Chain A
């Protein structure tokens, strides 16, 4: 039987500590839309997406009302378009992006992910054309998210693709220069991209997924921050236990919503992603959790250890609460979307180097970081190569979503709006890595990729 304090705890989490379901994402396979006629392809994609997700928003609203918990985002991921439109030109891909944008508007979802390609070993023609089209596609649309997987632990790192993505990010920044280069906020470069991630901008519907699927991303940094604060100056074992307990409760809500959404939508339930996803709102910050553990400011010495403890405890608590766990699962550290990170970056305590170290122990990578607009394409590729190496060598997903804000430099800040937040421009190193990036080819897979 439920007791009063349990019920009031749930109410407090939702009302005062920003507990919510961050996203219900429907994955939709587009393989049955493939056609050699571009017009027919576009038509079939529009029909499949609007038909499959026709009730997504409505069902999520019903669930919000029934269970009393907000579902912040309703989203869609599709099969990477480089496969579906493999014969298209870059212009053809831009048209597909616009078709998906129209579908997103019609359905009332805020993002569709899957403007994507896997190029870890090399690019098929469709991937080359899609990558070429990214700057224009992200300029012409507002709800389409793009992700490119440039490396896996098994395949190594495609450095030609890394070099290319530096240029693509620069071009996207230029084309969306009137809005603080916001196009780059919808573009992620991955190592070991998951096939079932419900979070944007990196959501795709993988090749081994069912025709449609429901994946859910939970949240709740505010809830964890309060629990850590209330735990006081306990030792690390007790601290980890506190986080585990609260992560269990948060994830159970995700599990409930995922299975109920899947049932009502007639789609299989896929996974719950055990992530702590912050927002720029007060009391919804991962940095605040770390600071409540005893750091005077996120980014100072001890931050990586604090984050490692947090990330591990979230997984241990969450995995018990859900029958299928997947996606990115861990603490996110998107700078512009986390009030504590923004403050720490403004003060210079949180630097790009420290963030890189932090990504070695958490999910996902260098995320939503504004850098000077005059950063060279080679330097951006260098940042990508470093981050991707961490993922490849450590058998984990890492990613880079940096925004070289056109016309702005260190001391300025960029405004992305809504959940994407705002960020101070963070300095990058001035010394060149151009000769290194220009080598081209592939960095071989690490020895521990040979597991068989």
Chain B
């Protein structure tokens, strides 16, 4: 009996357009990357910065841009169009923190924003640090540092 119901559920569960979403994400994400590279070159020329420091300024620019777009309620609309292209880069990280901060601001600075701002981004930080540790260890053992 259970099987019959789950078969009918399967029959009426639409397939997600994975290939289409992947292509959209690839193109949009690639464009975001290319624009960032242009910006990087720009910062190097305009502010006479070395490449490494210009990179940090580009990241800051993207974070600010994503947070402002989230605050104005535009970012989630963009995500519905460009899919994961905006979620995977640093813009997604900034967006998750701003969204949480906006949501909990009425619950106070400590128990609201403070306790909840890393609600989604905390996972990225935790497993980011854990994987950096593991890969660092592998690099040290295999390549000697």
Physical interaction between A and B: no
Residues of chain A touching chain B, judged by Cβ–Cβ distance below 8 Å, are none
> Chain B residues in contact with chain A, CB under 8 A?
none
